[in-house]
Amino acid sequence: MTSAHRIITPESVLPGAAPCGHIIRGKTVPAASGKTFSTVNPANGREIARLAEGSAEDVDRAVAAARAAFAGPWSRWTPTQRQALLGRVAALVDERFEELALLETLDMGAPLTRTRMLKEPIRQMIMFFAAQALNVKGETLQSSLPLSVQAMTFKAPVGVVAGIIPWNGPLISQWWVLGGVLATGCTAVMKPAEDASLSVLRIVELLHEAGMPEGVVNVVTGFGHVAGEALARHSGVDRVAFTGSTETGRKIIQASAVGMKKLQLELGGKSPDIVFADADLDKAVPGAAMGVFNNSGQVCYAGTRLFVQRSIQHEFVERLKAFTATVKVGDGLDPTVQLGPLISQKQLDRVTGYVGDAPSEGARLVAGGQRPGGDLANGFFFTPTIFADVSNSMRIAQEEIFGPVISVIPFDDADDALRMANDIDYGLGGAVWTRDVSTMFKMVNGIRSGTVWVNCYGAVDPAVGFGGIKNSGYGVKGGAEHLDLYLYRKAVYINLG
């Protein structure tokens, strides 16, 4: 039966009663210890699957499988063959997308209105990497060596890549790693987040269905401080691509000293979103609001420090409040819901803690600030929240909350806005809303971050990509440079004499 005829229900997409295993050498296998752990639907706290609890032993097996695959038939696949594999998996993902979107909604809470919308972005991302498969090139140089020696450079796949990814959108974010691995001929061990592993397990099954050789991509599920730590440290891993917290990023930098692994790190953010009095407020109000509330605020580049020019502050906050009242929070299976729950009790406690402390520092609560009750009381929901009269030095302005919480910070002029925008340890995203070209360029040039949006927020094209500076990490996602993590440069000198 094709998916068009299959009846898709939560029961039909979830793995069922038997625990999910790791995927090693193309086979689904239990943890070496036999241990499993529970993963829940954050909309109601109910267990939806049991996952294999990975240990250092499981990581050893998965890395060995990836090393063997790197040296095996996969190493003789041509770029065109790898491109075709990416094309086949893109078609499969497209065909099964309704199931994948539902699985992601059940596992990490983002509403179907969001997960369904990822269909085209994911297709674009896979096809971007399919194109990159044919774009790996070295150079032939005019050298100053004796005439008989010809010099050139090759680019070669680096080997085994560890992909350690977070829970805030693995259905799409895993492609940043899988795309790079498959385009270049590397192999991988993926360690999905303990709170959202199901879409990674499902996609790796689809990769095998599309004809990927066994062992090319392996998955070890489990906890960060055990399985993640063992993988980041493993001497059989050549490079690590990590997305997550700055704190864990630091641990991964330390672990990378084993084997001198090059890293791509996309870490936390506290991005400035700057609205000038001359902006088109019909666009700026919903744009800035959703620049934070999207995915319930669980987005690395969310524009959580909302700088608003003082002359429009009152009007802007009123309109922001009115817009926020229209945003529907609920179980993501409801096709009218815009915001789902937070991922976990831990994340809910974190958001509740920051919101509870903010008034004592002088922030004024304008909207939200609590958990919704009724049907939503058992889920990890939090109402979209706005604080006004925030100053840039308050904790809610300086620390990543990772929830639907906006801090409105007034500013007087462009210099004032820039000074505060850059007074932060992070440098991931940022935006400016204005109709004035010189104000726009002043902000684009002045904001110290890896990405700046103008009169929009959060658009990402894989061909251009994004990345961070400061505590937001290093190494880009997307663009031609993306593949630098997956390749190394080999200088070749040939004596033709």
Tell me the catalytic residues: 266, 300
Secondary structure letter of residue 133 according to DSSP: T
Binding flag, residue 104, Mg ion (CB under 5 A): no
In the complex, minimum distance from the CB of residue 334 to ligand NAI, in angstroms, rounded to a whole number: 25
What x-and-dash track marks residues 72-91 binding Mg ion by CB under 5 A? --------------------
Residue ranges of the alpha helices (H) in 258-379?
281-293, 313-325, 345-357
Comparison of 119 and 350: residue with beta carbon closer to ligand NAI:
350
Binding flag, residue 174, Mg ion (CB under 5 A): no
User: Which of these segments, 147-155, 205-213, 227-235, 378-386, binds ligand NAI (CB under 6 A)?
Assistant: 227-235
Binding partner of residue 107 among ligand NAI, Mg ion, none, CB cut-off 5 to 8 Å per kind: Mg ion
b (16+ CB within 10 A) / e for 109-135: bbbbbbbbebbeebeebbbbbbebbee
In the complex, minimum distance from the CB of residue 196 to ligand NAI, in angstroms, rounded to a whole number: 9
Binding partner of residue 85 among ligand NAI, Mg ion, none, CB cut-off 5 to 8 Å per kind: none
Secondary structure letter of residue 8 according to DSSP: P
Binding flag, residue 196, ligand NAI (CB under 6 A): no
SS3 of residue 402 by DSSP: coil
Query: Where in 43-191 does DSSP place strands (E)?
Result: 46-52, 140-141, 149-157, 160-164, 187-191
Measured at CB, which residue is nearest to ligand NAI? Answer: 224
Binding flag, residue 194, ligand NAI (CB under 6 A): yes
| Residues 341, 10: Cα–Cα separation, whole Å | 17
Comparison of 323 and 387: residue with beta carbon closer to ligand NAI:
387
| Residues 285, 308: Cα–Cα separation, whole Å | 11
User: Which of these segments, 106-114, 276-284, 372-380, 411-419, binds Mg ion (CB under 5 A)?
Assistant: 106-114
| Residues 293, 401: Cα–Cα separation, whole Å | 12
**Using the rule CB under 6 A, which residue among 42, 228, 330, 340 binds ligand NAI?**
228
Residue 265 parent element (H or E): strand 262-266
Restricted to residues 392-431, the positions that interact with ligand NAI (CB under 6 A) are 400, 402
User: Which of these segments, 104-112, 168-176, 302-310, 358-366, binds Mg ion (CB under 5 A)?
Assistant: 104-112
Binding flag, residue 107, Mg ion (CB under 5 A): yes
Q: Are the CB atoms for 201 and 221 separated by under 8 Å?
A: yes
The 10 Å Cβ neighbour count of residue 349 is 12
